Amino acid sequence: MDVNRLNLGLIGAGRIGRLHAEHLAFRLHDARVFMVADVNEIAARQCAEQFNIAQVAKDYRAILENREIDAVLICSGSGSHAQIIEESADAGKHIFCEKPIGVRLDEIDRALAVVERAKVKLQIGFNRRFDANFARVRRAVAQGEIGEPHLLHIISRDPSPPPIEYYQFSGGLFLDTTIHDFDMARFLIGSEVNEIYCAALTRLDATISPARELDTAITLLKFDNGVIGTIDNSRQAVYGYDQRVEVFGSAGAISTNNNFPNTAQLSTASNIQRDLPLNFFMERYVESYLIELQAFIDAVKNDEPTPVNGYDGRVPVVMALAAQKSYGENRPVRLSEFDVK
């Protein structure tokens, strides 16, 4: 391993894979993408050209077999994550894996066991932890600026639902979208959730959301430290990406607003207005993707723990499964119901 310049293998050249590739090409200086692999070979090739990546493969195993590659970035479909983690660990590669770590608990637990045995680093892509707003809220909670936390609210609404073909791989609202919020809940409060109750609906009409999946939900969380909280999700906020949190405690409260493209306020004969917030995660969270990747690179180079480990990847999946079950059975579900070991 050349600690001056880590060699990474990128698995998956979709939207998020290309974002990491761009950051590594232009904004991060102590690592680079050495090979990119995608079943869609044309996508892999275009990505390589655009971001100066030396080698291209169709099969990600080419990356695992390459001795020059120190670590992999798993940006493939959610269904393949656990399997690729397992193989990557077996190949001795350090691993950065997009969320979710997997879609079934058995495959996750098998993958985590291999990671542990192989003694490789594993970081899960919960990038929002590295966002300036949420990091500030976490700091307030951790440093006692609001005293003991009592109540939590997370608002997490997308500007518009994904294309219909996306749904077949997404695992649904809870595993695809709310999973970020489950991680955020644990991160902000610093305690584990033990019970979940979820109310959810399909509110968008079929022209907007042809898959007729759940698109609107409120999930109620109970934490070990007594905090109770909610997560509010919608697939379509017409005014744009709505990403806010509030934590209330014995000594005060802290809340965040959305991020906007500018601060201008326009006063007209009709109203006082401002432009809509930054529209989606590629704009809103762009800096957080950069910071999380740097954190992974640092952890590998310095042989230190990653800031979001395999356990942090597993728990939100359990929470998503509990939310699904709670919705299906309309009752509060304890996370211990999933302790099958």
Determine how many CB atoms are found less than 10 A away from the CB of residue 63. Answer: 26
Contact 127, 104 (CB under 8 A): no
Contact pick of 237, 295, 317, 319 for its own copies (by CB under 8 A): 237
| Nearest distance from C-beta of residue 41 to its own copies, angstroms | 25
| Nearest distance from C-beta of residue 286 to its own copies, angstroms | 12
Binding mask 149-178 for its own copies (x = CB under 8 A): -xx-x---x---------------------
| Nearest distance from C-beta of residue 25 to its own copies, angstroms | 9
Contact 64, 91 (CB under 8 A): yes
Contact 160, 239 (CB under 8 A): no
Contact pick of 142, 192, 239, 337 for its own copies (by CB under 8 A): 239
Pick the stretch among 66-74, 192-200, 289-297, 315-323 that binds its own copies (CB under 8 A): 192-200
Contact 154, 131 (CB under 8 A): no
Does position 298 interact with its own copies (CB under 8 A)? The reply is: no
How far is it, in rounded angstroms, from Cα 239 to Cα 260? 12
Determine how many CB atoms are found less than 10 A away from the CB of residue 56. Answer: 19
- Using CB under 8 A, which residues numbered 245 to 274 contact its own copies? 248, 250-259, 261-274
Does position 216 interact with its own copies (CB under 8 A)? The reply is: yes
| CB of 113 or CB of 282, closer to its own copies | 282
Does position 324 interact with its own copies (CB under 8 A)? The reply is: no
Angle at 185 between CA 133 and CA 256, to 5 degrees: 25
Contact 81, 102 (CB under 8 A): yes
Torsion on CA atoms 179, 181, 182, 188, rounded to nearest 10? 150
* CA nearest neighbour of 38 among 65, 59, 18: 59
Q: Is cis: bond before 100, omega within 30 of 0?
A: yes
Does position 226 interact with its own copies (CB under 8 A)? The reply is: yes
Binding mask 6-35 for its own copies (x = CB under 8 A): --------------------xx-x------
| Nearest distance from C-beta of residue 80 to its own copies, angstroms | 32
Q: Looking up tokens 């109540």, which residue turns up?
A: 151
Task: Give me the residues that bind its own copies (CB under 8 A), please.
Answer: 26-27, 29, 132-133, 135-137, 140, 145-148, 150-151, 153, 157, 197, 199-201, 203-204, 216-218, 220, 222, 226, 228-230, 232, 234, 236-239, 242, 248, 250-259, 261-277, 330-332
